[in-house]
Amino acid sequence: MTRNGIGIRTAQLRPTRLKGQIHVYDGAGKGKSQAALGVVLRSIGYGINDSNNYNRVLLLRFLKGPERDYDEDGAIAALQRGFPHLIDQVRTGRAEFFDKNDIISFDTQEAIRGWDVAKGAIASGLYSVVVLDEINPVLDLGLLEVDEVVKTLKSKPQDLEVIATGRGAPQELLDIADLHSEMKPQHHSTAELHGLEGIEIYTGSGKGKSTSALGKALKAIGRGINHPGSTRVLIMQWLKGGSGYTEDEAIAALQQSYPEVVDHQRCGRDAIVWRNSRQELDYMEAERGWEIAKTAIASGLYKTIILDELNPTVDLELLPVEPILEALLRKPRHTEVIITGRCQNQPEYFELASVHSEVYCHKHYANHGVEPKRGVDF
């Protein structure tokens, strides 16, 4: 069978790998730390769903000191209360931005403290996933020795997944990475000319699009928990029918505790859809999803709306572009819409994006025959 267009693999009956990989998300575009948060959500969901599988994540955040509040704090704290055996979070550094000319001894001390935690976690065997959020700029600033970090990561336990994020990843780290996604910012004159805000698009061939959207959802959910009544989140996912998505359990746990904060919907068959294998059900499911999304956008009830894999749905011609364009142009100003997925031809609504990250694939373990991993990739 000739496979034309874009196809999205569903989670059901996927093989999964055991060996852990080293991921690096860098670049000037938005979505790097969000991608790490998306993996955190999936990892926790996997642990909730299958108590027989050992699954614990360490979220270690450099350059994000405890003096500052972050949107995702509320959601992470809620998950920690409900499932303390599944997640640990450690923060180091100052809360404010600084460059090489502003470094003080405290910055070096905090970076070393964070790295000591990381080394212990990596060696302990207690974690299935270790997130080193913003370690790339720490290395770029010279607060840690690149050679020592690379040496430690090269000798990590075989089944451990390590995720490094932030701008300025050194070449030595990129050389040992199994996956390297660069977030490249794209600018659209239409959005700038008309002052359009609140539309974010994540597309491209690299890994991190849906994962980043899940991280964005986690931040929005946390904002709603921290400030009751301030926000409501809809996660709408196309081309992902069936079951087996590990983020579902974590989202469901948050829904149970905070039903007023988050709604989650899926549509599509439990099958890969290619352009030459489209069925009537694919069109019906795509339209059903769009009716839910269109109503949510127009209602003003939601502060954050995730339209996951909408781009390939349009690319497959399962939905027309015009109604989406009109809905986005008429959206309430306070509503932010996040759209994800790769596509071969950029639809017109890309011009409305105030944030557009092209996720460029420098490396991907899938290109070397390595299977995706449950709790990380899906």
The full 3-state SS of the chain, as one line of letters, equals CCCCCCCCCCCCCCCCCCCCCEEEEECCCCCHHHHHHHHHHHHHHHHHHCCCCCCCEEEEECCCCCCCCCCCHHHHHHHHHHCCCCEEEEECCCCCCCCHHHCCHHHHHHHHHHHHHHHHHHHHCCCCEEEEECHHHHHHCCCCCHHHHHHHHHCCCCCCEEEEECCCCCHHHHHHCCEEEEEEEECCHHHHHHCCCCEEEEECCCCCHHHHHHHHHHHHHHHHHHCCCCCCEEEEECCCCCCCCCHHHHHHHHHHHCCCCEEEEECCCCCCCCHHHCCHHHHHHHHHHHHHHHHHHHHCCCCEEEEECHHHHHHCCCCCHHHHHHHHHCCCCCCEEEEECCCCCCCHHHHHCCEEEEEEEEECHHHHCCCCCCCCCC
- Residue-level pLDDT at 18: 80
Q: Which CATH number fits domain 22-181+364-368: 3.40.50.300, 3.40.50.800, 3.30.70.1560, 3.40.630.30?
A: 3.40.50.300
Establish whether domains 22-181+364-368 and 185-361 are of one fold: yes
Architecture of the CATH domain 185-361? 3-Layer(aba) Sandwich (3.40)
What number is the average pLDDT over the span 150-177?
A: 97
Looking at residue 48, its pLDDT comes to: 86
Range in 12-26, 155-169, 338-352 the model is least confident about: 12-26
Q: 167-210 pLDDT, tens per residue? A: 999 999 999 999 999 999 999 888 888 788 999 999 999 999 99
What is residue 143's predicted lDDT score, i.e. its pLDDT? 98
* pLDDT at 355 > cutoff 70: yes
Q: Where are the domains of the chain?
A: 22-181+364-368, 185-361
Residue 1 pLDDT class (50, 70, 90 cuts): very low
Provide the pLDDT confidence category of residue 3 given band limits of 50, 70 and 90: very low
Q: What is the mean pLDDT of residues 62-85?
A: 88
Q: What percent of the chain has pLDDT over 70?
A: 95
- Averaged pLDDT for residues 354-366: 95
